[in-house]
């Protein structure tokens, strides 16, 4: 057992996360957050279609039996340095909308043509590469800079950037600083820490990565997707991050899952934190 984790309640958030082996980047500089705006606002949305996959063109290329819809992959042609802050906000919000539409459809059993995993991965890569440009230009996009939906979009994109662990760690370091400045909730750091550790094949620290799976009696129950390190002190660590006890978190997942059985259109996928 990691003794540092066992004494989490006496640590700062930065010390705890660094002890977990994450956010190890030596540089936390966010660069210059000052940008010039103008009144000639455009809508620099990535070039991608908005139609549903269920009505996709039957001639779209097939890859391993699944539809790979190349036209749904966002493409960003203009350098982010030419954008106003308002335009950056619009682009981030478009990332959020695309994720909700495409990934949500892939989890909907009523969808006639589910989104191929290869398409989702291509979207994740395109969006994370663009987010990297944004972070290099303005630092982490906070609510103060770009609004609530856009900053949620940025967080969603970095959650899905497991193909680029270096970028994830860099953003985690930026988030730690913002949490300690009171500009982000500590739960953002906890969730991303667990995501990074799962991608690294390590045990999670805060128990955020959960999914429904059958127990020994065949009953579907919330289950950690990977082991939780030092479970005896799990709630101490969660309390430090301003999170409820793990039993309450698991209970909320159970309620959402039961609701999804009654109404498949519910947002259960949003509760499953491993997605």
Pairwise pLDDT comparison (17 vs 84), residue with the higher score:
84
pLDDT tens by residue, 191-210: 999 999 998 899 999 999 99
Residue 120 pLDDT: 85
Confidence bin at 65 (pLDDT 50/70/90): very low
Task: Phi first, then psi: give them for residue 67, nearest 5 degrees.
Answer: -80, 125
* pLDDT of 10 above 50: no
Domain boundaries, the chain: 1-18+203-275, 46-184
Residues 22 and 193 sit within 8 Å (Cβ to Cβ): yes
pLDDT tens by residue, 41-60: 333 444 433 333 333 333 33
CA dihedral 193, 199, 201, 207 (to 10 degrees): 40
| C-alpha–C-alpha distance, residues 231 and 207, integer Å | 9
Residue 112 pLDDT: 52
Pairwise pLDDT comparison (25 vs 119), residue with the higher score:
119
Residue 231 pLDDT: 95
Residue 38 pLDDT: 35
* pLDDT of 126 above 50: yes
Pairwise pLDDT comparison (141 vs 116), residue with the higher score:
141
* Average predicted confidence (pLDDT) for the chain: 76
Confidence bin at 238 (pLDDT 50/70/90): very high
Residue 48 pLDDT: 39
Q: What mean pLDDT do residues 155-182 have?
A: 93
Residue 67 pLDDT: 42
Q: Of 246, 179, 177, whose CA–CA distance to 206 is shortest? A: 246
* pLDDT of 116 above 80: no
Angle at 172 between CA 188 and CA 179, to 5 degrees: 50
């Amino acid at each position: 057992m990691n003794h540092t984790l066992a004494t989490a309640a006496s640590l700062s958030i930065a010390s705890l996360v660094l002890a977990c082996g994450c956010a190890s980047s030596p540089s936390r500089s966010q660069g210059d957050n000052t940008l010039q705006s103008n009144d000639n606002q455009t809508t620099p949305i990535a070039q991608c279609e908005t139609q549903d996959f269920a009505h996709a063109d039957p001639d779209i290329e097939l890859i391993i039996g699944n539809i790979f819809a190349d036209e749904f992959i966002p493409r960003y042609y203009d350098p982010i340095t030419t954008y106003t802050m308002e335009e950056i906000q619009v682009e981030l919000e478009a990332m959020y909308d695309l994720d909700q539409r495409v990934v949500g459809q892939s989890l909907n059993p009523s969808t006639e043509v589910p989104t191929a995993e290869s398409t989702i991965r291509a979207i994740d890569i395109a969006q994370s590469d663009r987010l990297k440009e944004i972070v290099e230009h303005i630092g982490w996009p906070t609510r103060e800079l770009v609004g609530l939906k856009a900053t949620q979009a940025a967080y969603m994109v970095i959650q899905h950037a497991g193909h680029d662990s270096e970028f994830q760690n860099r953003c985690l370091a930026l988030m730690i600083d913002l949490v300690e400045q009171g500009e982000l909730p500590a739960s953002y750091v906890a969730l991303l820490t667990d995501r990074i550790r799962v991608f690294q094949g390590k045990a999670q620290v805060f128990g955020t990565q959960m999914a429904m799976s059958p127990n020994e009696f065949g009953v579907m129950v919330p289950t950690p997707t990977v082991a939780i390190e030092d479970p005896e002190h799990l709630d101490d660590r969660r309390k430090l991050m301003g999170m409820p006890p793990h039993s309450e978190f698991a209970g909320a997942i159970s309620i959402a899952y039961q609701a999804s059985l009654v109404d498949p259109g519910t947002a259960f996928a949003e509760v499953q934190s491993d997605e």
